[in-house]
Amino acid sequence: MKLIPINTPLVSTNDDMFEVIFNALTAAKVELQDSDIITIATKIISVTQGLLINKDEIEVSDEAKEYAKVTQLSPEFMEVAIRESDEVLGACIGALLTRRDGHVMPNAGADQSNAPLGSIIILPSNPSQIAREIQHFLQDKFNCRIGVIIGDSRVQPLRRGTSGLALGVAGFVPVIDDRGRKDLFGREMKMTSRAIADNLMSAAEILSGEVDEKVPIVLVRNAPIILTEEDLTETMSIPPKECMYFSTFLKKDEDE
């Protein structure tokens, strides 16, 4: 498997998302091939879609003020995180723990890093639809079948550092179900599935970085993927009762 970093200039709200991606690939002298995967950081999607909120225009609620005391983040940022979340799970120094679109993430994906001063960046809605639009655009340009991942960084329980999270996918199977297959000693797998999209996004994040790298796009070549036009976004998430972390806490609540 080969990963190729694709640099872009500093992106602004005046830029066209499709042009930014195509021009970056052209500048890198990249010709896409069948089964290539393009990973794209959410930030350039959000910025080109104008998903920036001016902190001076945010009306702060009492709830946001209370969470700001716990997290030691600004009340304005907490207000945006609350609005963007489907559910607030708790708070600690540095983050509001939330659920959004089936994902557990800090601050509902709202971010101030790499945002223009005085602005907060929020996640795009329906990232898989955007991924599909980009997939079709690039397939027409390069006359091949590819996959696209729109992703962000995440943290894992009790692990230091960030890894990748696929928020939107198009063109390939994002999770491969290994249940029913047998291991080296003939034991049948009962639970195992492989998070292909998340793992590819994690690999890409090694090159993309988190600060001033300007590598929001990574080309992944020769990955063991299965191409498909079916929308399989929902297969990447599971309900809380099926999650080994969440179900433990849910059972504890029920016992109390």
3-state DSSP assignment of residue 99: strand
> What pLDDT score does 211 carry?
63
Task: State pLDDT tens for residues 77-120.
Answer: 999 999 999 999 999 999 999 999 988 999 999 998 878 888 99
Which domains are present in the chain?
A: 2-51+123-255 (3.30.1330.100), 55-122 (3.90.1660.10)
Q: Answer whether 0.85 is exceeded by the pTM.
A: yes
Is residue 250 scored above 70 in pLDDT? Answer: no
Q: Identify the band that residue 190 occupies on the pLDDT scale cut at 50, 70 and 90.
A: confident
Handedness of CA 218, 8, 107, 148 (dihedral sign): negative
Separation between Cα atoms, residue 196 and residue 174, nearest integer Å: 5
Residue range 39-53: mean pLDDT, rounded: 95
Output 231-234 pairs: Cβ under 8 A, ≥24 positions apart: 231/128, 231/132, 231/170, 232/169, 232/173, 232/174, 232/175, 233/128, 233/168, 233/169, 233/174, 234/102
